[in-house]
Amino acid sequence: MTVTANELLAVMGSRELRNDTTVFTGVGAPMMASVLAQRTHAPRLTMMVEGGVIAPTWKPGELPISTNEMRAAYRAQMLPGITDAFLLAQRGFFDVGFIGGAQIDRHGNLNTSAIGGYARPRVRLPGSGGANDIISLCREVLILTVHEKRRFTERVDFVTSPGYLEGGDSRRRAGLLFGGVSRVVTTLGIFGFPPESRRMQLLALHPGATVEQVRENTGFEVLVSPSLTTTKPPTEEELSILRMLDPKRQFIG
Amino acid sequence: MTIAPREYDFVAARQRLEAKPKSAGPKLGSLEEAAALVKDSDHLAIGGCLYSRTPLALVWALLRRRPTGLTFSRNLMCYEGEWGMVSGAVSKVVTSWMGIGLPWGLSRIQREFVEAGRVEFEEWSHLGLGLRYRAAAMGVPFLPSLTMLGSDLMGVGGSKTVTCPYTGRTLHAVPALFPEVALIHVQKADRLGNCRIDGYPHMDADIARAAATVLVTAEEIVSEDEIRRHPDRTVIPGFLVDALAHVPYGSYPHECYGAYDAEPEHFTTYVDGIRERGAASVADYLERYVYAPTSHADYLALFGEPRRADAAGRARMLTT
């Protein structure tokens, strides 16, 4: 059974989620990861969707394209409104926040605004949406992204969403007293940020991936954990749940 | 690029409200009469979110008047922002994100206009913009927040920080945004302008309180007695509303919670046109869908009744 990039991200992302916790999520791979966790090891995980949806029960085959449409609200427990949804995150109610693919640097800063200067960009990107809020306000943040050299860059042109800024304690010094990026889950492996340097470090490789491959696809020096491990491949159960949820493969690819 | 003082001047904003009639009388009129209250160079806050409960009929009626120099602000800007750019009506967009959704890719119109410097694009985080409306709704010049700190977004509008007078911590002083006009579409209102929203509240209640002038369209006009039977469901009181129009399918082909589903295939056709011919395709679209029809009913007729009925059927399935 071939595993697609989004299936791999959803499975690896879901395994980072714990039972009896809360997750702030967007559409795409993050939403697949959250629902998969609920249906496997984390049945008491509460999901908040960016459009302002608490605990939806999505219909298989009717997954939402945006976070604020009727499909995203299907059989939810509450629709608090967007501002109040994020204020719950500012209050500290969200253990984990998910952010999807973007341009990312070695300190976990993300750019989804503009390539080549803000005022007259070479490429204008869609913008933060809630990504900046999620990374600023949740207790920990998981970034899910395809691993490509153009995404993993030495310095982002514009910090839309602050990871660890310049590293060290610069994030806290900027006033971001809480949270931070805990893991970057890519199609090649899983990365963390050791507290002293807050520089991205390879913690685990997915089955079949190599350190060389990571180096070739990363635009900055790759630090490798001395205790590098290998992740367990997606199970039949995990993949069959994802494929049941998304039979038209709109999100899993 | 910085925000203008008039956006957060809470004293002037209050004076505008104090000078204005706040009538308990009827507000119901035509869509065209509502749109006529918008003046060139106004800042318009647009309700709903992305392709949900967009006040698209109000945008439609407004663009037909060929306005100029407008600012559009919205939490997540859908293709009404592209219409504003291509029609020449909009010179500044304020939002946290622009596009339709993942399947439709980047907004090529946003790229073209922003990369060429033809419109000003002011980006906030989603909560950042929400708090700008919330601060204005509360009548204060800013709200302290932890969001956006340390990011380059702080420099886009000219955000400042404050030192908390109690804890000494650094906080983002998110500046208020008092728009001239709020455009809002709701499921139900009585003729006095008391509004009820089903499903997602989005930021509509805040922008109705933040703006100097509030324009509302409603899917359905209900009796005053119906409103009084469920006053807990009223989210915008009538005395905030300046003009109200009865416009069924007033968000179509965007969705209206419980009333009708969106038409993603229509979005795809629209985006395919842009892929082939860029802004010229949007100009043709505006000619066909906005300028040519002489009434909103004529606009809806371009989609056909069976298609609308199908969208209504899907909405019932998704909300029961």
Please say if the pLDDT value at position A102 is more than 80.
Answer: no
CA pair distance A127, B79, nearest whole angstrom = 15
What pLDDT, on a 0 to 100 scale, did the predictor assign at position B1? 60
pLDDT of residue A27: 86
B280 is a domain residue: yes
Q: Which residues of A touch B103 (CB under 8 A)?
A: 65, 250
Residue B75 lies in a domain: yes
* Residue type present at position A145: T
| ipTM of this complex | 0.97
Residue B161 pairs with which residues in a beta bridge? Answer: B172
Give A1's pLDDT tier (boundaries 50, 70, 90). Answer: low
pLDDT digits (tens, 9 = 90+) for A190-246: 999 999 999 999 999 999 999 999 999 999 999 999 999 999 999 999 999 999 999
| B154 in a structural domain | no
In a domain, B215, yes or no: yes
* Interchain proximity A74–B203, CB inside 8 Å: no
Q: How confident is the model at residue A100 (pLDDT cuts 50, 70, 90)?
A: confident
Among B126, B134, B202, the residue with its CB nearest the CB of A133 is B126
Range of the domain at B254: 5-143+174-318
Contact, B169 vs B199, CB < 8 A?
no
Q: Look at residue B298 and tell me if it is in a domain.
A: yes
What pLDDT was estimated at residue B2?
Answer: 81
The Cα B205–Cα A81 span in angstroms is 10
pLDDT in tens, A40-58: 999 999 999 999 999 999 9
> For residue B170, which residues of chain A lie inside 8 Å, CB to CB?
174-175
Test A175 with B51 for CB contact under 8 angstroms: no
Q: Which amino acid would we find at residue B312?
A: A
Domain assignment present for residue B160? The answer is no
What ranges make up the beta strands (E) of B139-242?
A: 142-145, 160-163, 170-175, 181-189, 195-196, 213-221, 234-236
**Structural domain contains residue B196:** yes
Show the tokens assigned to B320. Answer: 């029961």
Residues of A with CB below 8 A from B153's CB?
Answer: 113, 128, 132, 159-160
Residue A32 confidence (pLDDT) above 80:
yes
Number of domains in chain B: 1
Give the predicted TM-score (pTM) of the model. Answer: 0.98
- The answer to whether the CB atoms of B115 and A126 lie below 8 A apart is no
Domains belonging to chain A, first-starting first, are 5-245 (3.40.1080.10)
The enclosing domain of B200 has a CATH number of 3.40.1080.10
C-alpha B58/C-alpha B46 separation (Å) is: 10
Residue B161 lies in a domain: no
Q: How many other CB atoms are there within 10 angstroms of residue B313's CB atom?
A: 12
Separation between Cα atoms, residue B185 and residue B224, nearest integer Å: 18
Q: What is the mean pLDDT of chain A?
A: 96
CB contact under 8 A, A124 and B121: yes
Classify residue B118 as left (phi > 0), alpha (psi -120 to 50) or beta.
Answer: alpha
Among the partner-chain residues A127, A130, A177, the one whose CB lies closest to the CB of B98 is A127
Which residue's entry shows tokens 């993300």? A110
Model confidence band, residue A101 (pLDDT cutoffs 50, 70, 90): low
Q: Is A140 annotated in the active site? A: no
Three-state SS at B52: strand
> Contact at 8 Å (CB) between A138 and A179?
yes
Mean pLDDT by 10 residues, chain B (320 residues): 91 97 96 98 98 98 98 98 98 98 95 97 98 98 98 97 98 98 98 98 98 98 98 98 98 98 98 98 98 98 97 96
Sign, CA torsion A107/A110/A115/A120: negative
Give the separation between CA B144 and CA B163, rounded to whole angstroms. 10
Pick the catalytic residue: A7, A50, A148, A238?
A50
